[in-house]
Amino acid sequence: MGRRSHRAAGQPATELGAAGVDRRLAVARAGHLGDATAAETALGDPDGSVRATALGALERLGALTDDHLRTASGDPDPQVRRRACELAAGRPRVPLVDLLADADSSVVEAAAWALGEQGAAGAIEALSHVAERDGGHRDPLCREAAVAALGAIGDPSGLPAVLAALDDKPAIRRRAATALAAFDGPEVTAALRRCLEDRDWQVRQVAEDLLAEPG
């Protein structure tokens, strides 16, 4: 599942201070030089950006564990929680559903994307709630990520939320139309036909392409 986000990744170097920048660069080098001990030690660094970099270094070294990610998902710095989500995408044993209620929108977006990559059928209810236009998440990027995750998982219980998202903002409608490829039935066909009249040409194009596919 492709991930779309306009958020900046990480904290600007100017906010870290020279010492923090140096430590972060040292940890990044450790990931390329095979120094797992240095990367592991950096998980306790006082700077969140260094801890986030340490997670990536351990992943590069093949030394990142599910326990590392479980701990990082509760880190006080959203940079670390967000990085934990990204790295947990291929690790279904790392629970991320609670992060869909994170106070930081970028963490919610990353968690939704990762849950879709995990194929986390147990997250359908929480993702559906995030995806709601009225009463769901206030950030449209989070709603869009949740809709995309529901399509990636493809569980029929997620279909009502995907259908409802066809009344949201254009980018979310496009995601919802694309997500309908994971479902079938007359309700899906009817929704795609309605999409042919959408104000957004990309929504119309997605619907046209899906309706033209055999079966």
CATH code: domain of residue 146: 1.25.10.10
Q: Among the three residues 87, 120, 138, which one is the final residue of a domain in this structure?
A: 87
- Whether residue 58 is found in the same domain as residue 164: no
Q: Which of 35, 84, 89 is nearest to 63 (CA)?
A: 35
* Model confidence pLDDT, tens digit, residues 118-135: 999 999 999 999 999 999
32-41 average pLDDT score: 96
- Whether residue 66 is found in the same domain as residue 125: no
Percent of the chain topping pLDDT 70 = 92
- Whether residue 110 is found in the same domain as residue 212: yes
Q: CA–CA separation, 85 vs 80, rounded Å?
A: 9
Integer angstrom CA distances of residue 59 from 4, 36, 53:
22, 10, 10
144-148 average pLDDT score: 98
Q: Among the three residues 66, 87, 108, which one is the final residue of a domain in this structure?
A: 87
- Whether residue 108 is found in the same domain as residue 81: no
pLDDT of residue 151 exceeding 80:
yes
Q: Among the three residues 35, 54, 87, which one is the final residue of a domain in this structure?
A: 87
- Whether residue 42 is found in the same domain as residue 116: no
- Whether residue 136 is found in the same domain as residue 81: no
- Whether residue 136 is found in the same domain as residue 160: yes
Long-range contacts of 75-81 (CB under 8 A, 24+ apart): 75/48, 75/51, 76/48, 77/48, 77/49, 77/51, 77/52, 78/48, 78/102, 78/104, 78/106, 78/107, 79/10, 79/11, 79/48, 79/49, 79/51, 79/52, 80/48, 80/51, 80/52, 80/55, 81/107, 81/110
pLDDT of residue 10 exceeding 50:
no
* Model confidence pLDDT, tens digit, residues 91-106: 999 999 999 999 999 9
| 5 assigned to some structural domain | no
pLDDT of residue 80 exceeding 80:
yes
pLDDT of amino acid 4: 58
Domain of residue 28: give its range: 19-87
- Whether residue 177 is found in the same domain as residue 101: yes
| 34 assigned to some structural domain | yes
pLDDT of residue 108 exceeding 70:
yes
- Whether residue 160 is found in the same domain as residue 215: yes
pLDDT of residue 164 exceeding 50:
yes
Whether the CB-CB separation of 174 and 195 falls below 8 Å is answered with no
- Whether residue 63 is found in the same domain as residue 120: no
| 14 assigned to some structural domain | no
Whether the CB-CB separation of 136 and 167 falls below 8 Å is answered with no
pLDDT of residue 215 exceeding 70:
no
pLDDT of residue 14 exceeding 70:
no
Backbone dihedral angles phi then psi of residue 8, each to the nearest 5 degrees = -70, 140
- Whether residue 66 is found in the same domain as residue 31: yes
| 1 assigned to some structural domain | no
Q: How confident is the model at residue 73 (pLDDT cuts 50, 70, 90)?
A: very high
- Whether residue 106 is found in the same domain as residue 46: no
pLDDT of residue 68 exceeding 90:
yes
| 9 assigned to some structural domain | no
Number of domains in the chain: 2
